[in-house]
Amino acid sequence: MHVAVIDDQEASLAGFSQILRRIADVEPVCFKKAADALHWLGGVDPAFVVVNNTLADISGIDFIRRFRLMQGRERTPVIFTSGKAGDRDLRRAAFEFDIYAYLEKPINPSEFLVYAMHIVDNQRQSRDMETRLKESSARAEASPPKSGGGDGGNAVAVIDAMLDVAALHDPTIIAHHNLAAQIAVVLGREAKLTAEEQKLLGQAARIYDIGKVGIPQALLESRTALDKPDRVTVERHADLGMRLLAGREDPILKAATVIAQSHHEHYDGSGYPRRLRGGQIPVMGRIVAVADTLAALLRDRPDRQAHTLAQAIEIVDKGSGSFFDPTIVNAIRPALNDISRIVHESTEKQAS
């Protein structure tokens, strides 16, 4: 794994390199100039980036701003360092770009090493699971098409194969996806999707959270509010899910790719990963955002018991116009009988 280190001081570059080389299979690549680093990063996907506030050509904040605009680097972990002790404005500016950690100089080597190893361990776990998912989906794609191949049979087989692997990481993922997908279909019906679009949504929504296989389960099941670095780690799952599903021509998998990346966008633009707002968010992403939240609220979690359906709907109502598309939220009421039936059947199935 490569780690880009950008700092205007030779001693700092040497110090970071020495620490990073203590981590197996990690190779630091050092730069004094942001321009050189950005050029290199255009062709290399690093495990993470270490950048100081002062560089040989521009500020560290300007570097991060340009780095985040690069394709595929929106969620790359960044450790930001600064020699300005107690500069709250600088700290706030850095965290606005979703940095992983903010460290003041002189750097504590042990603290830096802990952050670095945490990122690397997460990356290794994610890449291992990504490899296994790609292998399982490739085997499914290579199999003879189901049902003559005319109804997305191979796409369904790919989704099934990937979910079988994902269930080893999170045993609840299949039941959660199935519940959310069924809710999404009835919401899609009320939102005037065509019958064909509803069918497509029902299959594509079965795998929208597949990117969570790259997130440590301890973070997904945390009983306490996540700190900024852990929140950034969790939010990577939207882009990871998109990457796992992208590049296929089947309409189901194309739709699944779009949903995976867009289901955490908020109607008011405050979501992730691309800060889309309103109609910029694909309609299936807007539908699954509501369905996913309802399904999640109906589940027991380590930090709380499951909500009732009425409580879950009330919570979603409060997010109408901010988190959720009001049109989709308004579709809950006319679909309530179907949603109640789906939830009841899902609960009975899990209990049996």
Q: Write down the pLDDT at residue 145.
A: 62
pLDDT above 80: residue 227: no
CA distance 83 to 104: 6
* Across 71-75, 107-111, 190-194, 271-275, least confident range: 71-75
Q: 3.30.1330.30, 1.10.3210.10, 3.40.50.300, 1.20.1250.20: which CATH number matches 133-351?
A: 1.10.3210.10
pLDDT class of 219 with cuts at 50, 70, 90: confident
Amino acid at 250: D
* Across 53-67, 148-162, 260-274, 319-333, least confident range: 148-162
What's the rounded mean pLDDT across residues 168-183?
Answer: 93
The pLDDT tens digits of the residues spanning 232-247 come to 888 889 988 998 898 8
What's the rounded mean pLDDT across residues 56-81?
Answer: 93
CB 27 within 8 A of CB 3: yes
Contacts of range 174-179, beta carbons closer than 8 Å, 24 or more positions apart: 175/346, 175/349, 175/350, 176/209, 176/295, 176/296, 176/299, 177/205, 177/206, 177/207, 177/208, 177/209, 178/206, 178/346, 179/295, 179/298, 179/342, 179/343, 179/346
246: which 2 tokens?
A: 């992208």
Q: Write down the pLDDT at residue 150.
A: 46
CA angle 310, 314, 315 (to 5 degrees): 120
193: which 2 tokens?
A: 């999707």
Q: Write down the pLDDT at residue 318.
A: 97
Does 133-351 match 2-107 at the fold level?
no
* Across 52-66, 165-179, 217-231, 329-343, least confident range: 217-231
Return phi, psi of residue 79, to 5°.
Answer: -100, 120
Q: Which CATH superfamily is domain 2-107 in?
A: Response regulator (3.40.50.2300)
* Across 31-35, 115-119, 219-223, least confident range: 219-223
Q: Where are the domains of the chain?
A: 2-107, 133-351
Read off the DSSP letter of residue 16.
Answer: H
pLDDT class of 300 with cuts at 50, 70, 90: confident
The pLDDT tens digits of the residues spanning 129-172 come to 778 888 888 888 877 665 544 456 789 999 999 999 899 888 88
